[in-house]
Amino acid sequence: HILGLLLLIQAGSAWGQVRSDSLRNIDLDAVLVVAEPIDKAYEVLREAGRRNQPLPSFQCSTAVKSSYGGGSGLHLREALSVSLFAAPDRFSERIYLADEHQGGRSLNDGRTAEVRFSVGRDDGIVPQERGAVLGKHFFESYADGNLDLYRSSIELPRLATVPIPSPLAWDAELQYRARVVQAEAKGNAVHWTVSVAPRTASGALLRGTLVIEDSAYSVVRADLELPAQSLVRYTQVRVQQSYRFAAGRSVVSARNFELIDAAGDTARTQILHDEYDFNGQLRPKDLGLAAVADDENAFDASPTDWAAARKIALDPGESRHITYQDSLTLFYDSDSYKDSVDAVYNKFHWWEP
């Protein structure tokens, strides 16, 4: 394969006009391309795989917002955690803030809430805490959404039944069809958009596009679909990932999963990773036995605490739902409500033999 492109600049400048923001569009049709776009695509993929290695041991901060259903059927889960990884394959998640909201009976103004509580002579009477049941939420720890393109094989046990070969693996050319679909010059680098697809229709491989910049040959963005034939409980999973550099390493900063199950119901999971730290020298035995651990007070944060700590904004519908549900929780925990329960309780005449 030819590893470079010989570009014959035609009249009118094949590189296009340079805009004030230093972004230039490279028109592949307006130049003489000696190396085919297919050859260039494989060159870019190979270099990205060769120059970027799987991450060593690290810790980072993780925020997740996961939702499915809507209206009275809304299920929403939020969590903030510290993600720990001890190379080569040991993950642990320490969740320090979490909340789960489930829609219930519709109210007159269209809002929904689910409040369950018990009545008894207990000064601490509050709505019962709902157990941390994932339901259709698939993400609980970093490993659950770790679509790591820099590894030759991608493992997502909660989404796919088998490992998925990466399009950046050294032998990807044998399994993937690839082609350059766009090139943009940004500063001193060219951002190559490369489409990838299985070589055979039945191939259990990724399908979509990668944007790779050629100064360090790191991935900038990825928009990919997981192979439907390998999915665990969904019929379609699409993931979009954004990357940045941390301590000289290319890391994922944001993930967005869109999922559809067999019934046609949709789910969405948004994840942010930041504050990567590679200086901890973590070992597998340092992480303990628990893959996921909740802090003792993880579910006890007040609405004010969440408003200050939340990293992924709620959309208007989610915000209205949570605000109303929180107001109900505060009401059932109020002194006036407890007094009214005591009044009702004291009216009971217990049967005595």
pLDDT 10s digits, 10-42: 333 333 333 334 455 666 554 334 456 778 999
**pLDDT above 70: residue 126:** no
Question: Is the Cβ–Cβ distance between 118 and 127 less than 8 Å?
Answer: no
Question: Is the Cβ–Cβ distance between 235 and 262 less than 8 Å?
Answer: yes
Q: Provide the pLDDT for residue 116.
A: 34
- The helix, strand and coil proportions of the chain, stated in percent and rounded to the nearest 5, come to 20, 35, 40
Alpha helices (runs of H) in 3-123, residue ranges in sequence order: 37-51
Of residues 321 and 287, more confidence is placed in 287
Of residues 133 and 310, more confidence is placed in 310
Q: Provide the pLDDT for residue 130.
A: 35
**pLDDT above 70: residue 340:** no
Q: Provide the pLDDT for residue 100.
A: 86
**ω into 88 cis (within 30 of 0):** yes
Angle (CA) 120 126 129, round 5°: 115
Across 340-352, average pLDDT? 47
Residue (of 285, 278, 277) closest to 90 by Cα position: 285
What does the pLDDT look like over 167-189, one tens digit per residue? 999 999 999 999 999 999 998 99
The structure tokens listed for 145 are 């959404």
pLDDT-derived band at 269 (thresholds 50, 70, 90) equals very high
Of residues 295 and 119, more confidence is placed in 295
In the chain, the largest separation of any two C-alpha atoms, in whole Å, equals: 106
End-to-end CA distance of the chain: 95
What does the pLDDT look like over 73-115, one tens digit per residue? 788 899 999 999 998 889 999 999 999 887 644 333 343 333 3
Q: Provide the pLDDT for residue 121.
A: 36
The C-alpha atoms of residue 118 and residue 100 are separated, in whole angstroms, by 19
Q: Which DSSP string do the residues of 282-297 spell out, in sequence order? A: --GGGG-S-SEEE-TT
